[in-house]
Amino acid sequence: MNESTFEALGLAVIETEARAVGALAGRIDAQFARACSYILACRGRVVVLGMGKSGHIGGKIAATLASTGTPAFFVHPGEASHGDLGMITPTDVVLALSNSGETGELLTILPLIKRLGVPLITMTGNANSTLARAANANIDVSVEREACPLGLAPTSSTTAALVMGDALAIALLKSRGFSAEDFARAHPGGSLGRRLLLLIDDIMHTGDTIPQVSVDAPLTETLHEMTRKGLGMTAVLAADGRVTGVFTDGDLRRAVDREINLHKTPVGELMTRNCKTVQPGMLAAEALAIMQASKINGLLVVDAEHRLVGALGMHDLLRAGVV
């Protein structure tokens, strides 16, 4: 065995499984549509069953369904006949995976599933099998051959079942009108959830933590305020309390070039007017996009009357995991 042999073996597996997946396009038929209809009409949950490698694939399919708007969970068929069958209720739908369609543990509980009167959807590699014939909808996931050279280890067949499970989940997702925000609610701990759910209100500085000075404050007072609050900027307020500008580290560097009097020069002469502001309720990800597009490291948050209600820095977004 040498490097080229390993490469050839690996390529052969990928090509075999790719052909198996390609053949699935012709299986998106009336049986597939019927399976989707049963699941959409389900008032309970989708209970996924499968033994061995089919069980591992079934677990993944159940997880994908659950995270895309279709409540689902996996039950081990062997445990089902020893009490776990009680997890299946009359409002559920059963999705059973078996390449042969003759898996003993599934056939053992088949009469009990039928007695419950719940719809049975199967994914099998044999449309004439006992399991397929008993199904309300059987999805054909048969493959020409396994990628295993012995034709024994489930490879192409498990890949085909996995892809068909994804096809089911996404078809249902689209049918339900499942949105990116819905997905984020199911993934609150992930980066996508944070980007789609976190508001600037949740992370912005408020109250006494907001850096702010009056428009006639001398530059020394302004610098003390920026240092205390640590945002690298401060809001500049007009006499009526509305935001009239912002003073940043960049403004300070430009002021130093002018050799101004730190003790006498009011910040109003040096601030950036018409600064970028946002209003509460904005997604943190949207605020990040504004900061990146404008090449700035902070934003002031104002209300409808342009009064200061918060301040947001790039480090706040970093700590929140938005960046």
Is residue 66 classed as helix, strand or coil in its secondary structure? Answer: helix
Q: Is residue 122 part of a domain?
A: yes
165 and 206 together in one domain: no
Q: Is residue 195 part of a domain?
A: no
170 and 242 together in one domain: no
Phi, then psi, of 96 in degrees rounded to 5: -110, 135
56 and 157 together in one domain: yes
Is residue 44 classed as helix, strand or coil in its secondary structure? Answer: coil
204 and 165 together in one domain: no
**pTM to 2 decimal places:** 0.65
7 and 66 together in one domain: yes
174 and 52 together in one domain: yes
d(CA 167, CA 177) in angstroms, rounded, equals 16
Q: Is residue 255 part of a domain?
A: yes
289 and 243 together in one domain: yes
Boundary-marking domain end, from 112, 145, 178 = 178
172 and 231 together in one domain: no
C-alpha distance from residue 253 to each of 40, 212, 245, 259 (Å)? 62, 19, 17, 10
pLDDT digit string (tens) for the chain, length 323 residues:
788 889 999 999 999 999 999 999 999 999 999 999 999 999 999 999 999 999 999 999 999 999 888 999 999 998 877 767 788 999 999 999 999 999 999 999 999 999 999 999 999 999 999 999 999 999 999 999 998 888 768 899 999 999 999 999 999 988 887 665 656 555 555 555 556 668 899 899 999 999 999 999 999 999 999 999 989 999 999 988 899 999 998 888 888 777 777 788 899 988 999 899 999 988 888 898 999 999 999 999 999 999 999 999 998 888 887 76
What b/e sequence results for 28-49 when a residue is b if at least 16 CB atoms lie within 10 Å of its CB, and e otherwise?
A: eeebbebbbebbeebeebbbbb
257 and 171 together in one domain: no
Q: Is residue 60 part of a domain?
A: yes
Is residue 98 classed as helix, strand or coil in its secondary structure? Answer: strand
Q: Is residue 188 part of a domain?
A: no
Give the chain's domain count: 2
Q: Comparing C-alpha atoms, which of 284, 286, 293 is closest to residue 315?
A: 284
At residue 198, the pLDDT reads 80
At residue 193, the pLDDT reads 57
Q: Is residue 173 part of a domain?
A: yes
169 and 287 together in one domain: no
At residue 184, the pLDDT reads 57
135 and 223 together in one domain: no
Q: What is the CATH number of the domain that holds 268?
A: 3.10.580.10
What's the domain range around 294? 200-319
Q: Is residue 190 part of a domain?
A: no
18 and 164 together in one domain: yes
At residue 211, the pLDDT reads 95
